[in-house]
Amino acid sequence: ERETLAEGAVLLRGEALSVETDLLAALSEITAQAAFRNMVTPGGFTMSVAMSNCGPLGWVSDRSGYRYSPVDPLTGQNWPVMPECFLKLAQDAATKAGYQNFIPDACLINRYEPKNKLSLHQDKDEKSPEHPIVSVSLGLPATFQFGGLKRTDAVLKYALHHGDVVVWGGPSRLYYHGIPPLKDGEHPLLGRTRINLTFRKAA
């Protein structure tokens, strides 16, 4: 089913379930080449969420700032190629949500373990915010919170489950959002882990 969360934001519950096996196999290949790592913020804090990327560009953070880079700073190599099953899921979801011609050039992969969180933030490192962001949740469920264009705007909370896909476009593209500390649990495929894929047009 298709649920509108905010202006331009569409939740497709269970959209990724039919391809979960392909996604997880591809994910293992990616992280064998570009390992999950805890990046450091410009302010000097180590993020609790571990990250990797695939596609032509990857999101990176270090003491000098946030940016997109074609190269994994851990290996000096390009990020792994975006698997066909990732690209198809992201494009199909964008189309269902009303965004045609979405061609992501970056996929940020977040790995949460119990207690890991992502503080309230905006995604504004992309040069083309007229394109949506497609997010895919796998593994343990999480509470997702999002507000408005100002940090102080009231937040709404949603539970995101394994297989849920959210497309963030239009006005919602720049809304503040975050993930409070992950509750412990056990997922049949992913154990005590939540994975989130976000597909972006960064360049």
Question: What are the residues binding ligand MD3 (CB under 6 A)?
Answer: 108, 110, 118, 123, 133, 135, 144, 146, 166, 168, 172-173, 175, 177, 179, 196, 198
- What does 106 interact with, of ligand MD3, Fe ion, none (CB < 5 to 8 A by kind)? none
Could you tell me whether strands 194-200 and 142-146 are parallel, antiparallel, or unpaired per DSSP bridges? unpaired
Instruction: Please state the closest distance from residue 32 (CB atom) to Fe ion, in A.
Output: 25
Q: How far is the CB of 198 from ligand MD3 (least distance, A)?
A: 4
| Nearest residue (CB) to ligand MD3, 99 versus 144 | 144
- Provide the minimum distance between the beta carbon of 15 and ligand MD3 in the complex, in angstroms, as a whole number: 14
Tokens matching residue 42: 């410009």
15 binds Fe ion (CB under 5 A): no
Report the alpha-carbon distance of residue 39 to residue 109 in Å, rounded: 12
In the bound state with ligand MD3, the residue whose beta carbon lies nearer, of 72 and 123, is 123
Residue 132: phi and psi, rounded to 5, are -75, 170
Which of 9/26 has CB closer to ligand MD3? 9
Q: What mask of x and - would describe binding to Fe ion in positions 95 to 134, judged by CB under 5 A?
A: ----------------------------x-----------
Nearest CB to ligand MD3, comparing residues 70 and 170: 170
Residue nearest to Fe ion (CB): 123
Q: Which does 135 bind (CB under 5 to 8 A by kind): Fe ion, ligand MD3, none?
A: ligand MD3
Closest residue to ligand MD3 using C-beta atoms: 196
H or E stretch covering 107? strand 106-112
Cβ–Cβ < 8 Å for 93, 165: yes
Q: Are 81 and 54 in contact (CB under 8 A)?
A: yes
CA atoms within 13 A on the CB side of 64: 3
Return d(Cα 116, Cα 46) in angstroms, integer.
11
CA atoms in the 13 A half-sphere facing the CB of 42: 4
Residue nearer to ligand MD3 on the CB measure, 3 or 76: 3
The identity of residue 37, as a single letter, is: R
Distance in angstroms (rounded) separating the CA atoms of residues 143 and 157: 6
Binding site for Fe ion (CB under 5 A): 123
